[in-house]
Every structure is written in structure tokens, then in C-alpha cells.
Amino acid sequence: MASESASVWKLIMIPSLITLAVAVIRLIGGLARWNETFFRRRPGGRGALVGIVWLAFIFAVYFAVKLRNSGDSPSSRGKAIGLTLLALVIFVGGEFLVFKGIPYSVSIMLGGIICVIGSLFVMRSG
């Protein structure tokens, strides 16, 4: 078990440090009012080029390669891709409910959160 946690730590250490560095740079850039194209000061920083959201795509490939090289790959690539796409559709639907729900209500928010959590379970099965 100790070996397994050391293995997980080794897997996530570099992505965690990169994410932390980008978050700190984004914070500094926002507080120092650097170029608005790169460092949006609005909550969430939508549309900013410097942000951690872009890291999700990079780290998805990183983790997929690491898991494949460790022998922990899915039995069917088609099933894995299909379930990932289904999870993406569910996730986007959930986010649409949360951020575009008119009128805004607790039930809309809860529905969006359930969709997001559901997408994680669908993706995990892939």
C-alpha cells in the first residue's frame, strides 16, 4: 500500500507543481494588472490565455501515456473513447445548466452539479 501511494505521488507531483506555478503567475498577473488578454481579473478569468483550464488537456494526455506505459490501459480503446465523449457531453450539459440556467435557482445549480458528478463516473468507467 505504501508503494502504491508513493507511485501516485510520483505520478501527480509534476502536474501539481506546474498547476501551482500557473495559478501563482495568474494571481500575480491579475493583481499587477498585466495585459488583460493574458490575465483577466474577472472571477474565473474566462478567456484568459494564462490559466489552469488549458492544463486539463495537456495533463489528460500525460496521464493517459503514463497509465498506458504502466500497463493500466483500458481493454477497448473504442469503449474508452466513447465513454469519454459521453462524459464530455454530460459535463457540458451540466455546465450549461449551471451557467446558463435562467432563472437561476438552487435546483438548476444542483442539476448541473449532478451532471458534472455523473460525467466523472461515466469517464471513470471508460
Which grid cell sits at 47? 478567456
**Amino acid identity for residue 44 in this structure:** G
pTM: 0.58
Q: Which residues, at least 6 apart from 28, have a Cβ–Cβ distance to it below 8 Å?
A: 34
119, 88 Cβ separation under 8 angstroms: yes
Exposure on the CB side of residue 7, measured as CA atoms within 13 A: 9
10-residue mean pLDDT profile of the chain (126 residues): values are: 66 88 85 80 67 80 80 75 83 74 69 79 74
